[in-house]
Amino acid sequence: MNVLHSPDLMEKLQILAGAAKYDVSCASSGVTRRNGGGLGNAKGYGVCHTWAADGRCVALLKVLFTNKCVNDCVYCACRAGSDTPRAAFTPREIADLTIEFYRRNYIEGLFLSSAIEKSPDHTMENIIEAVSLLRREHKFFGYIHIKAIPGADPALITRVGLLADRVSVNLELPSVRSLSLLAPQKQMPALLAPVRQIYEESAVNRDERRRFRSAPKFVPAGQSTQFIVGATPDSDLTLLKASETLYGRFALKRVYFSAYVPLHDNPLLPALSSMPPLKREHRLYQADWLLRFYGFKAGELLDDAQPNLDTELDPKIIWALRHLSFFPLEINRAPMEMLLRVPGIGVVSARRIIRQRRVCALSYDDLGKIGVVLKRAKYFITCRGVYRGDAPLRPETLRGRLAPPPVVWQPSLFDGGSYD
């Protein structure tokens, strides 16, 4: 029987795809792999994790292997003490579902996460078997993102790394204090062990592949993680410093932020009636973008006196308002690293400014044509010595000019996808 006609399997899919929606640690693959005579292609462009109610993903089948968990993390819908309906796939069910969905053009790949059933090793072995069936039996060459389970045998992490394109280890909480409060069965060193292992084995693999072109790829799309935002009192500064450390020390590709959705009453958690902090999540993605592409440090954006991001204005504008002594910058002379600090100038437009001013001095009109957002940038630049801002360089005045008009706020579907 076709797996999609099995009521039992569809019920599991409903439960386990629904449970996977709290995991945001997948987005773009960034990996390209040629089809070796089988099914699917892993393309370099992004893959989306949008889940539709009829069982379809835009591009990835995003499911948990199981939501049965031995741990009891207070914030989690899968925790052992929750009365949520439970289910678990078999490895073959995961493989068959992926192939059936792929053949129907519902998806391009798989994002497979899991709670911890019985033990980290048991869970990891099941996931490995499912993905082995896809890769070896079905010859599936599409994108696969796997969740590595902390505490699993390092040999299993290695096997996962050789099968998957991307691997993520969700740290969930950025501090030891929050972990001991909300996830007492988790310890930071154990969570970081697979992150470190993947980082080290990736470095060895890059070296091997330089010497032997036939060497198998190990986690070719890199690793990512997720932090929950708003379940604990951890500040944005703590979250950004943890992200900075992960990027710097373990070369993570992405840190994702997931606004905490209150699911049950617990004195350790925000009230059930409180809204998920989506605006905060959005600002964190903007700050994360500044860390990764604009040369900012977490300590420049926030400090102990101001540990949380402004929700009204984006972090780049806030930085500029706090450092008005650097402005206005002459657009025809400022170095690249300072152009990137101007609100309204993104990486692409900064590069265009540098390139084009080698030929001739840019005019104010030229800036608009090359992508500078002048309604923001005009307060922070001069062009050929002329300041075109219609307000003096004072934080309170500029804040009023740059604040968006009050609207019903809705987060972008493409958080972090661009910044200027």
Binding site for ligand SF4 (CB under 6 A): 69, 71, 73, 76, 78-79, 115-116, 183
For residue 107, give the nearest of 203, 26, 19 by alpha carbon: 26
CB 183, min distance to ligand SF4, A = 6
Going 263 to 406 to 296 to 417, the CA torsion angle's sign is positive
Q: Which is nearer to ligand SF4, 47 or 73 (CB)?
A: 73
Q: Which residues pair with 111 in a beta bridge?
A: 62, 145
Q: Which is nearer to ligand SF4, 18 or 40 (CB)?
A: 18
Q: What tokens does 378 get?
A: 């005009």
Q: Which is nearer to ligand SF4, 98 or 226 (CB)?
A: 226
Q: Which is nearer to ligand SF4, 65 or 294 (CB)?
A: 65
Give the side-chain half-sphere CA count within 13 A for 354.
14
* Contact in structure between 44 and 143 (CB atoms under 8 Å): no
CB 68, min distance to ligand SF4, A = 9
Q: Which is nearer to ligand SF4, 79 or 376 (CB)?
A: 79
- The secondary structure of 152-200 as a DSSP string is S-HHHHHHHHHH-SEEE---BSSSHHHHHHH-TT--HHHHHHHHHHHHH
Q: Which is nearer to ligand SF4, 6 or 185 (CB)?
A: 185
CA distance 47 to 372: 28
Q: Which is nearer to ligand SF4, 76 or 345 (CB)?
A: 76
CB 186, min distance to ligand SF4, A = 7
For residue 82, give the nearest of 94, 93, 97, 72 by alpha carbon: 72
Q: Which is nearer to ligand SF4, 226 or 243 (CB)?
A: 226
CB 73, min distance to ligand SF4, A = 3
CB 79, min distance to ligand SF4, A = 4
CB 191, min distance to ligand SF4, A = 10
CB 176, min distance to ligand SF4, A = 16
Angle between helical axes of 154-163 and 120-132 (0-180°, round to 10): 20
CB atoms near residue 98 (< 10 Å): 29
- How many angstroms separate the Cα of 277 from the Cα of each of 236, 282, 368? 12, 9, 34
CB 12, min distance to ligand SF4, A = 16
Distance, first Cα to last Cα, the chain:
52
* Contact in structure between 134 and 107 (CB atoms under 8 Å): no
